[in-house]
Chains A and B, each alone.
Chain A
Amino acid sequence: MGLTGGMLLVLAIAAAAGSLAAIVWAWPRLARPRPACVAARLAVIVVSQVLVTAAFLIWLNSYFAFYASWGQLAGASVGTQPVAVRQAGTTARLVVIDHSEPGPAQVQRRAEALGAGTEVVPRPGALAAPPTAGRLLQVVIKGERTGLSSGPGYVYLPPQYFRPAYARTRFPVVLALTGYPGQAASIVERLALPSAAARLMAAGRIRPAVFVMLNVSPLFPLDTECTDVPGGPQVESFLAQDVPRAIEQAFRVTASPAGWGALGYSTGGYCAAKLAMMYPDRFSAAVSMAGYYQAIPGEYVPHLWGGSRGYRLENSPDWRLRHLPAPPVSVLATSSWVGEKTLPGTLAFLREIHPPMRGYSLIIRQGGHNFRTWGRELPPSLVWLSRRLS
Chain B
Amino acid sequence: MGPRGMPLMVLLAVAAAALLAGTLWLWPVLARRGAAFVGLRIALLVALQASVIGAVFVWVNRANEFYVSWSDLLGTSHPAAQVVAVAPGSVRAAAASQASQVTPLASRLVMVPGARPGGRLEPAGRLEKVRLDGPVSGIAATGYVYLPPRYSRARPLPVIVVISGQAGQGAAGYGAPRVAATAAAQIAAGRMPPAIVAVLPPAVAGRASQGCLDSPGGPQAGTFFSQDLPLALVRAYRAMPGPSGWAVLGGPGGGYCALQLATAPSGQFRVAAAAPGTGTAPPGGAAAAGPGLRRQDSVLWRLRHWPAPPVEVLLTGAGGAGQFASLARPPMTVATLGTASPAPGPSPLAAVLDWIGRALASPMAASPGPAGG
Q: Which chain A residues in 246-269 approach chain B with CB under 8 Å?
A: 248-253, 255
CB atoms of A365 and B81 under 8 A apart: yes
Bound CA span A31–B37, Å: 13
Whether B83 contacts A360 by the Cβ 8 Å rule is: yes
Known: A27-B30, A48-B49, A360-B84. A310 touches B292 (CB 8 A): no
Interchain CB contact under 8 A, A147 and B84: no
Minimum CB–CB distance from B78 to chain A (whole Å) comes to 6
Q: Are A99 and B368 in contact (CB under 8 A)?
A: yes
Q: Which of A140-172 contact B (CB under 8 A)?
A: 144-147, 167-168
The secondary structure that dominates the A interface is: mixed
Tell me the bound Cα distance from A325 to B134 in angstroms. 9
* Contacts known (A123-B370, A360-B86, A364-B81); A237 close to B266, Cβ less than 8 A: yes
Name the distance in Å between B241's Cβ and chain A's nearest Cβ. 6
Interface stretch of the complex, out of B93-101, B337-345, B346-354: B93-101
Q: Are A359 and B87 in contact (CB under 8 A)?
A: yes
Alpha-carbon gap, A311 to B79, bound state (A): 41
Interface size on B, residues (CB 8 A): 90
> Do residues B45 and A306 form an inter-chain contact, with CB atoms below 8 A?
no
Q: Does B307 contact A (CB under 8 A)?
A: yes
If the complex has contacts A24-B41, A231-B296, are A367 and B78 also in contact, measured as CB distance less than 8 A?
yes
- Contact bitstring B263-284, A, C-beta under 8 A = 1, else 0: 0011100000000000000000
CA distance A105 to B241 in the complex (A): 31
Is B6 part of the binding interface, using a Cβ–Cβ cutoff of 8 Å?
no
Complex interface bits, A330-348 against B, C-beta within 8 A gives 1, otherwise 0: 0010001011110000000
Provide the B216-250 mask, 1 if CB < 8 A to any CB of A, else 0. Answer: 11101000000100110000000001000000000
Check B97–A355 contact: CB distance below 8 A: yes
Interface residue ranges of A275-331 to B (CB < 8 Å): 278-281, 303, 305-311, 313-314, 323-325, 327-328
Report the separation of the CA atoms of residues A196 and B2 in the bound assembly, to the nearest whole angstrom. 29
In the complex, the answer to whether A248 meets B370 with C-beta atoms within 8 Å is yes
Q: How far is the CA of A99 from the CA of B369 in the complex (A)?
A: 12
Q: Mark A17-57, 1 if CB is under 8 A from B, else 0.
A: 00010011001101111000010011001001100110011
Q: Are B135 and A24 in contact (CB under 8 A)?
A: no
Separation in Å of the B29 CB from the closest CB of chain A?
9
Q: State the CA gap A41–B31 with chains docked (Å).
A: 12
Contact check, A31 vs B31: say whether CB atoms are below 8 A apart. Answer: yes
The residue in chain B whose Cβ has the minimal distance to the Cβ of A64 is B66
Closest 3 CB pairs of A and B: A306-B292, A310-B217, A339-B68
Q: List 8 A-B contacts (CB under 8 A).
A: A27-B41, A32-B28, A125-B371, A230-B296, A280-B136, A308-B292, A339-B4, A377-B81
Q: Which residue numbers of A lie inside 8 Å of B, CB to CB? A: 20, 23-24, 27-28, 30-33, 38, 41-42, 45, 48-49, 52-53, 56-57, 60, 99-100, 102, 122-127, 144-147, 167-168, 228-232, 234, 237-238, 241-242, 245, 248-253, 255, 278-281, 303, 305-311, 313-314, 323-325, 327-328, 332, 336, 338-341, 350-351, 353-370, 372-373, 376-377, 380-381, 383-384
